[in-house]
Structure 1
Amino acid sequence: MKKVALVTGITGQDGSYLAELLLAKGYEVHGLIRRASTFNTTRIEHIYQDPHCPDTRLFLHYGDLCDGGRLAMLLSKINPDEVYNLAAQSHVRVSFEEPEYTGTTTGVGSVRLLEAVRLAGVSCRYYQASSSEMFGASPPPQNELTPFYPRSPYGVAKVYSYWITRNYREAYGMFAVNGILFNHESPRRGETFVTRKIARSVARIKAGLESELFLGNLDAVRDWGYAPEYVEGMWRMLQVDEPDDYVLATGQGYSVADFAGFAFEHAGLNWQDYVRFDEGYVRPTEVDSLIGDPTKAHQLLDWKADVRAPELAAIMVDADIEALGCSGTPWIDKPALMSWAS
C-alpha cells in the first residue's frame, strides 16, 4: 500500500528535497504552506507536472503552525503514515530581531502539531527538525548527549521543540524523533544564509556584477554538509523499529573564512581581494564552533555524509554561475506531479 506523508515547510530547502525523495520512493506527499499575498513555491515548481506519472501524488494545503484547529482537521483528512515538521523561522540572525515570532513558530508551533496529531488520533511516525544551534556554547564535538547551551532565540526555540517532542514520545507512546541536524546547504539555500550569500556573490563578482562581499564573523566554525544527503537521514529515522534522537553531521568543521576561500578559489579568485568585514552581521551572542559527531546515525541508521565543505562550495558556486547565464533554476531536475487541495 502507498505510504502517505505530511511535510510542513515543504517550500523550504529541506522540504523540497524531502518531497523529491519521498515521491521517488512512491509516497503520496502532502505539503503545508501558509496563505500569503504571493506564492512562495519556487523550490517545488519543478515537481508540478510529470508526463510519465498518471497519478497525482503531491498535494498542497493551506495551513499554519499557529492554527492548531486547522492542523488537526488536516491530519484527520490526510491520515498520514509519516509527519515531518520542518516549518520554522529558521534564520538565526533574524531571530534576534523577531524573538517572539520565532518562539511562536519555531517553538510553540511544534507542540501545536504534536497535539494535533494526538487529538486527531492519527497513528503516524513524527519527525521533528532539531538543530545544532541548540548546543550553542557547548564545546565540540557535539553528540546526542552533549548539554544544550543555546545562544540565540532560534536555538532556545529549538530546544523547546526538542524537549516537547521527547515528552510526547514518553507521555503518549508516540513514535516521535528529533533529527539534530548540523548545517546543511545547497543551491536552494536562501540567499540571506551565509553559504548561499557567499556562492551568489562569487558568481556575481566573476560576472562583473559586484565587487565586494560583506560578511560578519569570519572565524565562526561550522560543520557544513549537503542537504539532499541529510533528508535521506530524516527518512531513515522513521524507518527503524524504535524512536530515538540522532545527530546528522559530517564530523568536520570549517570557518566562514574557509568556506569563502573554497568558493572563491573554485571560481579562480582570491577571497581576500573581495571579502570585507561588516559588524552589522555579527550576532549579539556568537556561537564559536559547531562540529557534530554522527557516530550514532552511522551505526544505527547506516547513514553518513559524503559531501564536505570544499565540494559543497563548488556545487553552490557552479549553480549560481549557471543561474546567471540562463533563465530558470538549472539545479532543479526531478519532475513529479502536484495538485492543490483544501
Structure 2
Amino acid sequence: MSKNALITGISGQDGSYLAELLLDKGYNVYGILRRLSSPNTSRIDHIINSIELIQGDITDQSSLNEAMRVSDPDEVYNLAAQSFVGTSWNQPVHTADVTGIGVVRVLEAVKHLAPSAHMYQASSSEMFGKVQETPQTENTKFYPRSPYGFSKVFGYWACVNYRESYDMHISNGILFNHESPRRGIEFVTRKITDGVARIKYGLSNELRLGNLDARRDWGFAGDYVDAMWRMVQQEKPDDYVIATGETHSVQELVEFAFSRAGLDWEKYVVVDPKFVRPAEVQLLLGDATKAKNVLGWEPKVKFKELVEMMVDADLEKLKKSK
C-alpha cells in the first residue's frame, strides 16, 4: 500500500526535488501551496498532474489542520520558510512568524491530527552563524547571526521539545547550503550563474556582489532531499548535519562560473557594500559523519560540477528566451 507524504513548501527548490523523489518511490504526494494572485508553480509544473495541491499557509493553523485531514500523512516534510537571509533583516517579524512560529503550527497539526506520522524539519547551517568550532557537527553550539538564523534555532528546539514531550517521530536535518538550477534568483549562487549567462549574451555588463571572502559548504539539492527521506525512515528520530565536508569561497564560485562561460570574472564583478550583511557569517563547514554512518548518505555531486550544472542551465534558459 502506498504511503502518503505531505510537503509544506512544495513549490520551492527542495520541495520540487523531494516531490520527484517520493513519486519515484511510489508515494501519494500532497503539497501545501499558498494562495497567491499568480501562484509560482514553475518548479513543479512537470509533475503537477501527479501530486495533489492543498491551499494553505504556514501562518494559518486551520489550513494546516485541514491539510492534515485531507492528506492523512504517513510522513510530513516541513520545508516552508521565509528562506532568504537577506530578506530576514528587512522582515524580521515576518521571518520569525513563518520560519519560527510556523514550525510550532505544523507540530500542533501533526500532534492532533497525524500523531503517528514521521516528520522532517528543515533546519539550517545558519543556526551555527558565528561558528564556535570547525567543522560543525550535531553537537556544535548554535550562534545565529540573522533573524533567519535565530528563527531556525527556535524551530529546531520546538521539534526537540515536541519529540521528547509527546514521543513524536521528528527529525531535524541541519542542512548546509544546497543549490541547483531551481535555486531562487535572490540567492548568491543563482545570482552569479544567472549573471554570467546575462553577461555572456550581452544583456548585462557587470555583476554586483557583496563579500567575496565568505566561505560555504555547498552541495546539490537533489542529493540533500535523499538525506531528508532517509531520516524519516529511521526507527528512531534524531538530528543530522547534512553537508559535503568541503568549503569554498564566493570568489571561487565566481571563478568557476565565469570560466565555464569562457569569461574573465575580474572584468565584470563589482563589490558593492550594500550587499554585505549587517552581521556576516564568514565560514560554514559541516561534518556529516553521523549521516554517513547511520543513514548511509553521502553527497554525489561535487562543487565544480554543481556550479557548471547551474551555469549551463542558465545559459540554456537565456538562449531559449532570446
Query: Smaller-chain TM-score range?
Result: over 0.9
How far is 1:76 from its partner? 2.1
SS at match of 1:107: helix
Contact 1:79 1:122 in 2 (8 A): no
Q: Which one of 91, 107, 119 corresponds to residue 100 of structure 2?
A: 107
- In the other structure, the counterpart of 1:337 is none
* Superposed counterparts of 1:153-172, under 5 Å: 153-172=147-166
CA distance in 1, matches of 2:216, 2:92: 23
CA distance in 2, matches of 1:147, 1:271: 37
- In the other structure, the counterpart of 1:3 is 3
CA distance in 2, matches of 1:295, 1:223: 15
Contact 1:71 1:116 in 2 (8 A): yes
How far is 1:325 from its partner? 1.5
Moved more, 229-238 or 73-82: 73-82
CA distances 1:227-283 after superposition (whole Å, capped 9, x unpaired): 000000000001111100001000000010010011011111121111100111111
CA distance in 2, matches of 1:200, 1:77: 39
| TM-score (norm: length of structure 2) | 0.98
* Superposed counterparts of 1:223-234, under 5 Å: 223-234=217-228
Structure scoring higher RCO (CA < 8 A, sep ≥ 6) equals 1
* Superposed counterparts of 1:37-116, under 5 Å: 37-49=37-49, 57-116=50-109
**Is 1:183 the equivalent of 2:177?**
yes
Q: What's the RMSD between the two structures over aligned residues?
A: 1.1
Contact 1:222 1:290 in 2 (8 A): yes
* Superposed counterparts of 1:256-275, under 5 Å: 256-275=250-269
CA distance in 2, matches of 1:115, 1:174: 11
CA distance in 1, matches of 2:208, 2:186: 12
Figure out how many residues of one structure are paired with residues of the other and give that number. Answer: 321
Match of 2:238, as an amino acid? D
Match of 1:133, as an amino acid? E
How far is 1:122 from its partner? 3.6
How far is 1:327 from its partner? 5.2
CA distance in 2, matches of 1:191, 1:73: 32
CA distance in 2, matches of 1:204, 1:187: 15
Moved more, 94-103 or 267-276: 267-276
How far is 1:73 from its partner? 2.3
- In the other structure, the counterpart of 1:127 is 120
SS at match of 1:89: coil
Cα 1:137–1:175 shift into 2, 3 Å: same
- Identity across matched positions, percent: 58
CA distance in 2, matches of 1:247, 1:142: 8
CA distance in 2, matches of 1:275, 1:74: 46
CA distance in 2, matches of 1:304, 1:232: 10
CA distance in 1, matches of 2:55, 2:174: 27
Contact 2:72 2:114 in 1 (8 A): no
How far is 1:68 from its partner? 1.1
Match of 1:281, as an amino acid? F
- In the other structure, the counterpart of 1:288 is 282
How far is 1:137 from its partner? 0.4
How far is 1:326 from its partner? 1.6
CA distance in 1, matches of 2:248, 2:134: 13
Q: Which one of 204, 210, 216 corresponds to residue 210 of structure 2?
A: 216
SS at match of 1:43: coil
> Unmatched 5+ residue regions in structure 2?
none
How far is 1:121 from its partner? 4.3
Match of 1:12, as an amino acid? G
Match of 2:227, as an amino acid? G
CA distance in 2, matches of 1:144, 1:183: 16
Contact 1:182 1:223 in 2 (8 A): yes
CA distance in 2, matches of 1:316, 1:15: 18
Contact 1:80 1:122 in 2 (8 A): no
CA distance in 1, matches of 2:6, 2:60: 16
CA distances 1:126-151 after superposition (whole Å, capped 9, x unpaired): 00000000000014210100000000
How far is 1:67 from its partner? 1.1
- In the other structure, the counterpart of 1:204 is 198
CA distances 1:71-128 after superposition (whole Å, capped 9, x unpaired): 1122123210000000000000100000000000000000000011112244200000
CA distance in 1, matches of 2:48, 2:65: 26
CA distance in 2, matches of 1:36, 1:221: 35
CA distance in 2, matches of 1:122, 1:141: 35
Moved more, 319-328 or 249-258: 319-328
**Is 1:20 the equivalent of 2:13?**
no
CA distance in 2, matches of 1:37, 1:122: 34
Cα 1:186–1:255 shift into 2, 3 Å: same
Moved segments of 4+, more than 3 Å: none
> Unmatched 5+ residue regions in structure 1?
50-56, 329-342
Contact 1:214 1:277 in 2 (8 A): yes
| TM-score (norm: length of structure 1) | 0.92
Match of 2:32, as an amino acid? L
